[in-house]
Amino acid sequence: MKLSRAEEELMNHLWSRKRAFMKDLLDSYAEPKPATTTISTLLKRMQEKKFVGYESKGKLREYFPLVSKESYFSRHLKGLIEKFFNDSPAQFASFFTKKTDLSEEELLALKGIIDDKLNQKK
């Protein structure tokens, strides 16, 4: 399941804080801050999607992520590769390296990551 742009923004605030009350989440936003009802609606939808849980602390709810940022973006990236690159990580890597202006240093760092992964598979 996927998050909307607004849900992803809220989820990023929650991932960075690990646990947060509604006030903490609202304080995370720059001005103009969204309405409390907007955040409340987003949190409810994210709970229904099983991305967010909460613990009651008196009358307040302390929210926490049920899905790690790495897990979410890994699934999201896999979906993009399937949809836009014919389910081919090689096509994605080719596009990524051609369409981004990576320096030689950045390309060597990527090569190092790939070499390390290949060595782990041996």
Give pLDDT tens digits for 71-101: 999 988 898 899 999 999 888 888 888 888 8
User: Which amino acid type is present at position 35?
Assistant: A
pLDDT score at 76: 86
pLDDT score at 52: 97
pLDDT score at 2: 85
**Is the pTM for the entire model greater than 0.85?**
no
Q: At what angle do helices 36-48 and 5-17 cross, to 10 degrees?
A: 90
CA 63/CA 56 separation, integer angstroms: 9
CA 16/CA 25 separation, integer angstroms: 10
Give pLDDT tens digits for 4-48: 999 999 999 999 999 999 999 999 999 999 999 999 999 999 999
Question: Domain residue spans in the chain?
Answer: 5-65, 88-122
Task: Locate 23 and state its tokens.
Answer: 């006030």
Per DSSP, the three-state class of 58 is coil
pLDDT score at 68: 96
CA atoms lying within 13 Å on the CB side of residue 56: 2
Query: For residue 55, what are the β-bridge partners?
Result: 62
- In CATH terms, the fold of domain 5-65 is Arc Repressor Mutant, subunit A (1.10.10)
CA 49/CA 67 separation, integer angstroms: 11
